[in-house]
Structure 1
């Protein structure tokens, strides 16, 4: 199934040039993922917001045609938020919402801690405010999880640049199925012509940074309205970390999706739209 092409722009900001993709009308919202590489086909998570928002999908430093990192620290989560702020300023927006899934949600946590005054709202889906692997056997990145070694193998293999397109797609499909409540629904859930890649350099930096990532004691600094969503059976960022974020963020709402793993915006798409619409109505109108 095809979807509308996203409008592509290159923004010359105070922190360099960044590639963004724009679609939809309404309240502005920024969508980013820590190491995904986007293009004009868009993104499944970002697409779920385009009916209600003007969505700005951002290729971060070292992805797509965006600025390269001159120093390794520029790939950190905090520096990434500084980049997003430069993009917002270049777009001449006094504020915008932020929406992030998985590691994108982790960026949303950092964004809320340091720039809540620039966020009209924050949507955090399937994420965490601290390292989520070591102490959670339910996490597929914990060595005690039965699918741990296969997930590691898939991620490392997908970093290779010499894979054929068919092989890469097969590996990505297998990896995604590991994070679905009902893997047999993969073809129906991912039926659109959306293609994206992974930045190996950003993923490698994240895999180091996440080992010392813990901002739980700063969650109280997030003052913007925050909607936290997680699948009950999320194997990447288990649900207990979403509960923890909700407990730490005063102005937050938590919704747990009982028939979802890591992709509630696809696995329970209609409920996702309903809960998002209700949140906007309750907190922003």
Structure 2
């Protein structure tokens, strides 16, 4: 299927690093604080057989523009940047697909720019802050793995880590978000090596405390597929259920044997649900 090809997109809001792969209807994939490179991304790979995928590094990630002001790292500003990338690429519309905080960007994109979207795919995400009132969330202080998860996130922000140390910490962190942690190496078996933008993650940690767009979800009218694992420990299922009730023209698919990575834990079912969704839109 070929490798990811790097492309710099020069928009009115600055230059953004984009990696392109596949053919078909264009789909934008991003994450709020990941740093992508030519090795790609597991989530983005799910769409490469059916779509032309544009994997976008947000501001202060990879080779994309920096932030002159802190507010430029916000979720809303990031959506403005993505919309500028779409315009510069010349697409009248494209799809957007996001996992976790990428899904949260998709939520906001749908609210403000549904007219720019052929569809919206939101996986393991939420339309509001998901920690404070959910003891099932690993970021809630009552969760038994809360302390270690916090330690791992702080460790991974350090620039002085040896490569092997960083790899082991990332594996440990990810295992918390799998229904069957023993299958980690079955799921993550490609040479994909993405990084993390510490400055973006730090800003997100503060912004998340006041994040709540639930009252605006009725403004999102693009066809929307919401997917979540039954055992999601990061953004528990209740938040996907809430979005499916409030977003018009949406459907919810629950993966009974998945945690936060249904596109790996139940890959065939995930792909089937997506293809069926897209085929029904095209009718």
TM range (shorter): over 0.9
Give the distance between the partners of 2:230 and 2:63, measured in 1 at CA. Answer: 36
Alignment match, 2:103: 105
Which residue matches 2:277? 279
Q: Name 1:195's counterpart in structure 2.
A: 193
What SS does the aligned partner of 2:118 have? strand
**Counterparts in 2 of 1:41-190, with a 5 A limit?**
41-190=39-188
Per the TM alignment, residue 77 of structure 1 is displaced from its structure 2 partner at its CA by 0.6
Which sections of structure 1, spanning at least 5 residues, go unmatched?
none
- Cα separation, 2, equivalents of 1:32 and 1:6: 14
Query: Residue 5 of structure 2 corresponds to which residue in structure 1?
Result: 7
Give the match for residue 215 of structure 2: 217
Q: What is the CA–CA distance in structure 2 between the aligned matches of 1:86 and 1:246, rounded to whole Å? A: 28
Q: Following the alignment from structure 1 to structure 2, what is the Cα–Cα distance between the partners of residues 249 and 12?
A: 33
- Cα separation, 2, equivalents of 1:174 and 1:85: 35
Give the Cα–Cα distance (whole angstroms) in 2 for the partners of residues 4 and 193 of structure 1.
14
Matches within 5 A, 1:204-243: 204-243=202-241
What SS class does the counterpart of residue 154 from structure 2 fall into?
helix
- Using the alignment, how far apart are the partners of 1:101 and 1:223 within structure 2? 20
Query: Deviation at 1:4?
Result: 4.0
Q: TM-score, normalised by structure 2?
A: 0.99
Q: Among residues 248, 255, 258, which one is paired with 2:256 in the alignment? A: 258
Q: What SS does the aligned partner of 1:250 have?
A: coil
Secondary structure of the equivalent of 2:279? helix
Aligned length: 283
Please give the alpha-carbon distance, in whole angstroms, between the structure 1 residues aligned to 2:52 and 2:192: 19
Where does structure 2 lack aligned partners over 5 or more consecutive residues? none
Counterparts of 2:24 and 2:251, CA distance in 1: 22
What is the CA–CA distance in structure 2 between the aligned matches of 1:52 and 1:252, rounded to whole Å? 21
How far has the Cα of 1:283 moved from its partner? 2.4
Pick one of 10, 25, 28 that aligns with 1:27. Answer: 25
CA RMSD of aligned residues (A): 0.7
Alignment partner of 1:111: what SS?
helix
CA displacement at 1:282 relative to structure 2: 1.7
Q: Is the partner of 1:99 in helix, strand or coil?
A: strand
